[in-house]
Structure 1
């Protein structure tokens, strides 16, 4: 059975085998990460075509006799200040990943952390009084290297105040906002018991997934 280190002392926390013992599926994880990152793109880049650029209504010079190339408009794409050909237009980048595929990718991301031993559980009650020093000591005592993702329950937002300014902390987010990209983008994951239960429920399909997941 997979397990996670208990940073509060005591025995390691046993993890659900369905949620944390899945075989890593690289293609599904890649597709889910692409979908999540694409959904965050604004897609507001826009350029004007020659028909939208102001001016250029009159022919710059007569067709023949000037010795210059023929020109019908000063807003031609080959002119400075002219329109853009095939430039970016407002669009959306989102694409659909099936719910079962997203869930399988989510299990893969959780399982890879369980397999590597890069996931741990801590007691959030120790941070009812905000203390960045205590949070730094907790992480240092864990002894891991690399970026760190802190996952909390929705009602534990106060705990985030102790961790958010630590060096190496990639993000401090509630379970409802955790996506596959967040999990695979962090070298280590630190979760509260409540967050662990919610992540397990999401991975097993016992809790409704967020659109971003």
Structure 2
């Protein structure tokens, strides 16, 4: 699959680059995408939630009323979940939500995510992109060149560029990452992928 290469103003440079059919041309595996995104979101959870059960409540243990003759149900402890301030029945406990996912499944998921974006024509390849200094307006002008200022964008670079990262961080819908750190979640969460030419070769070498 051949696509045009654009400059930082969103103009066609006249150059063409070939996207690997082994990555961008495969039939997307939606279940692999689902599993990888699920694992990513599960790994973000702290799992520190906790509710006190009846054994952990700091209340008196005395019997609150006599067993019979009150006309009501038997009650042995104020800690009972039926009373206000009592323990929680089967409340949440701290736990680890992470789970294992095979390396090949994760690789297939990233390939599938890239293939989805390519099929939707939401992939643009850039000449290696940089900025002279950290300035949000410069990055916004760059996005405006691609008519993508109001959409979620993911710019993939071959290496960390401090000026680009600092220029983009105040924009809620803009994200900048290096090719080796891109996850399936990041790819699927973006409406438009902007891939620097150097990052494209790095992505292909990582996923082949």
Common topology (TM > 0.5): yes
| Contact preservation (8 Å) 2:136, 2:170 | yes
4+ runs of 1 displaced by more than 6 Å? none
Deviation at 1:2, TM superposition (A): 4.2
Which of 33, 53, 57 is the aligned partner of 1:29? 33
Give the secondary-structure state (helix, strand or coil) at the position aligned to 1:137.
Answer: helix
| Contact preservation (8 Å) 1:2, 1:114 | no
- Over 3 Å counting, the alpha-carbon distance change for 1:192 and 1:127 in structure 2 is same
Query: What is aligned with 1:3?
Result: 3
Which of 154, 157, 178 is the aligned partner of 1:152? 157
Query: What is aligned with 2:167?
Result: 162
TM-score normalized with structure 1 length: 0.84
Deviation at 1:172, TM superposition (A): 2.2
Which whole-Å CA distance do the structure 2 matches of 1:135 and 1:114 have between them? 24
TM-score normalized with structure 2 length: 0.86
Q: Which runs of 5+ in 1 are unaligned?
A: 205-213
Q: Which runs of 5+ in 2 are unaligned?
A: none
| Contact preservation (8 Å) 1:160, 1:172 | yes
Deviations 1:2-61 (A, max 9, x none): 435423434133222222222111111112111111111111111111111112311112
Matches within 5 A, 1:1-213: 1-3=1-3, 5-8=5-8, 9-123=13-127, 126-144=130-148, 146-166=151-171, 168-169=173-174, 171-204=175-208
- With 36-45 and 112-121 compared, the bigger mean Cα shift is at 112-121
| Contact preservation (8 Å) 2:154, 2:193 | yes
- Over 3 Å counting, the alpha-carbon distance change for 1:44 and 1:117 in structure 2 is same
Paired residues, number = 203
Which whole-Å CA distance do the structure 1 matches of 2:25 and 2:2 have between them? 6
Deviation at 1:76, TM superposition (A): 0.2
Deviations 1:134-162 (A, max 9, x none): 32222222234631112233432331122
Which whole-Å CA distance do the structure 2 matches of 1:153 and 1:20 have between them? 18
